[in-house]
């Protein structure tokens, strides 16, 4: 049986991913963490292993014993590409659930090395980024010419993903980022330009500019003039608090790791209460505009799920399933929209009961 190593496998997303792989593959799983916590999944195909990513010798050995490595140990802003490099050196395929632009850019620079080693490595494979990238690819394929891409996401409370997601959110407020607007890279202030979007399940929801890997990878993958990535929280109360952190807090405070941790812990404590009322789901919308049959038009796709971590696991699990079966092979380091054919994305979605809403807007 193939063996899959899930780094950060004791976290919320790691556990959800393990459940997905148990359901849709025949692989044996090794779930790692810096210490052994309460085991949430009991199955003869699962083993738990203590592993600190700083222990390079232990990491190399764990990778050598595997057919596929899935990196779920964020926040990725603090990670280097050593796991990916070890996978390339040992000829082991690689996936991650990274959600940081700087990490993504460093990983993509290893493309040629992975190609030479015949290793398929795909980054950003969760829900957003991940499923969001595939929604855009599907929409792009409906048009003859792509001009504008607009992605919006909303998460209820914690999303069921733990405090790491809170850290990632506040880390994203630290500085302006570059967005591809009207054919050039322009600086954008995070959590600015509030916009109301009609999203599946949540209806009219507020979203704001937010730095996501898709802002970079989609602009590289498709000939669009503008790529917009916006994020929001449900209920809207959390948007107001995040906006204040982005615009009112002194710059020196939001750049301190202690402040980021404080904000993350306080937010997580708050959402543990509100989650009971709002749920922990996710909704997104991808609108791609351009030319279709010599006419201007837009193709819009929507997606929602009641559990954000489970949705992220479905995004990653589907790709892992096809790598393990041999249906997907694309040597190099790629973003999801570059590596995953729409046919396979739709197959994985149907198997997992994911519903994609779609419409053509002329």
From residue 296, how far is each of 6, 64, 208 by CA, in Å? 44, 51, 26
> Is 78 a residue whose pLDDT tops 70?
yes
User: What angle (nearest 5°) sits at the alpha carbon of residue 348, between those of residues 353 and 107?
Assistant: 130
pLDDT band at 16 (very low <50, low <70, confident <90, very high): very high
Nearest-angstrom CA–CA distance, 60 and 123: 20
Please tell me the pTM assigned to this model.
0.94
pLDDT band at 177 (very low <50, low <70, confident <90, very high): very high
248: which residues sit within 8 A by CB, 6+ positions away? none
The secondary structure element, H or E, covering residue 203 is strand 203-209
**Which pLDDT score, from 0 to 100, does residue 324 have?**
98
The structural domains of the chain, with segments of one domain joined by +, span: 3-126+312-353, 131-305
Average pLDDT over residues 335-359: 97
Nearest-angstrom CA–CA distance, 38 and 16: 15
Quick one: CATH architecture of 131-305?
2-Layer Sandwich (3.30)
Whether a cis peptide bond, with omega within 30° of 0, leads into 75 is yes
Least confident of 54-63, 154-163, 307-316, 339-348: 154-163
Least confident of 95-99, 151-155, 265-269, 308-312: 265-269
**Which pLDDT score, from 0 to 100, does residue 39 have?**
58
pLDDT band at 69 (very low <50, low <70, confident <90, very high): very high
> Is 264 a residue whose pLDDT tops 80?
no
User: What angle (nearest 5°) sits at the alpha carbon of residue 89, between those of residues 84 and 95?
Assistant: 30
Backbone angles phi, psi at 280, to 5 degrees: -130, 40
Q: Convert the pLDDT of each residue in 103-122 to its tens digit.
A: 999 999 999 999 999 999 99
Least confident of 17-26, 221-230, 252-261: 252-261
Backbone angles phi, psi at 132, to 5 degrees: -60, -40
- Phi/psi region, residue 36 (left: phi>0; alpha: psi -120 to 50; beta: rest), is beta
Comparing C-alpha atoms, which of 182, 178, 199, 200 is closest to residue 190? 178
Please give the residue that has the higher pLDDT: either 247 or 187.
187
Average pLDDT over residues 221-245: 92
Least confident of 179-183, 217-221, 255-259: 255-259
The two tokens of residue 64 are: 């050598």
1: which residues sit within 8 A by CB, 6+ positions away? 26, 27, 28, 45
pLDDT band at 161 (very low <50, low <70, confident <90, very high): low
Please give the residue that has the higher pLDDT: either 126 or 36.
126
Nearest-angstrom CA–CA distance, 242 and 102: 22
**Quick check: 302 and 153 in contact, CB under 8 A?**
no
Average pLDDT over residues 58-84: 95
The secondary structure element, H or E, covering residue 234 is strand 226-234
> Is 55 a residue whose pLDDT tops 90?
yes
> Is 250 a residue whose pLDDT tops 70?
yes
**Which pLDDT score, from 0 to 100, does residue 286 have?**
97
**Which pLDDT score, from 0 to 100, does residue 330 have?**
98
> Is 253 a residue whose pLDDT tops 80?
no
CATH annotation of 3-126+312-353: 3.40.50.720
- Token look-up 């494979």 returns 125
**Which pLDDT score, from 0 to 100, does residue 38 have?**
59
**Which pLDDT score, from 0 to 100, does residue 173 have?**
81
Q: Supply the mean pLDDT for the chain.
A: 92
Average pLDDT over residues 349-362: 93
Average pLDDT over residues 51-71: 96
**What is the distance, to the nearest Å, from the Cα of residue 265 to the centroid of all Cα atoms in its chain?**
21
Least confident of 8-12, 46-50, 113-117, 157-161: 157-161
């Amino acid at each position: 049986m193939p063996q899959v190593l899930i780094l950060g496998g004791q976290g919320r997303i790691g556990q959800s991913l393990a459940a997905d792989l148990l359901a849709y593959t025949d692989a044996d799983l090794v779930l790692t963490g810096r210490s052994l916590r309460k085991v949430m999944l009991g199955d003869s195909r699962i083993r738990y292993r203590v592993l600190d990513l700083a222990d390079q010798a232990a990491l190399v050995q764990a990778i050598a014993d595997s057919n596929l490595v899935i990196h779920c140990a964020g926040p990725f802003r603090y990670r280097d590409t050593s796991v990916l490099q070890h996978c390339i050196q040992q000829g082991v395929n690689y996936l991650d659930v990274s959600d940081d632009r700087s990490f993504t850019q460093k990983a993509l620079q290893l493309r040629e090395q992975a190609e030479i080693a015949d290793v398929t490595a795909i980054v950003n494979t969760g829900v957003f980024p991940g499923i969001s990238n595939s929604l855009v690819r599907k929409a792009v394929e409906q048009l003859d010419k792509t001009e504008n891409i607009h992605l919006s996401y909303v998460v209820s409370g914690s999303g069921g993903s733990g405090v790491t997601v809170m850290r990632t959110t506040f880390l994203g407020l630290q500085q302006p980022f570059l967005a591809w607007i009207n054919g050039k890279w322009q600086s954008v202030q995070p959590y600015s330009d509030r916009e109301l979007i009609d999203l599946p399940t949540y209806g009219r929801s507020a979203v704001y500019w937010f730095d996501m890997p898709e802002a970079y990878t989609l602009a590289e993958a498709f000939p669009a003039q503008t790529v917009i990535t916006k994020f929001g929280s449900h209920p809207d109360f959390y948007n107001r608090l995040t906006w204040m952190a982005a615009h009112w807090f002194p710059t020196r405070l939001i750049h301190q790791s202690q402040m980021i941790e404080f904000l993350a812990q306080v937010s997580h404590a708050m959402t543990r209460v509100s989650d009971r009322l709002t749920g922990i789901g996710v909704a997104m919308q991808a609108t791609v505009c351009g030319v279709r049959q010599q006419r201007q038009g837009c193709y819009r796709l929507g997606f929602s799920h009641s559990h954000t971590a489970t949705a992220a696991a479905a995004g990653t699990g589907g790709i892992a399933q096809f790598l393990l079966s041999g249906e997907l092979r694309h040597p190099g380091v790629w973003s999801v929209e570059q590596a995953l054919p729409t046919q396979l994305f739709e197959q994985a979605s149907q198997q997992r009961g994911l519903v994609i809403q779609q419409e053509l807007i002329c």
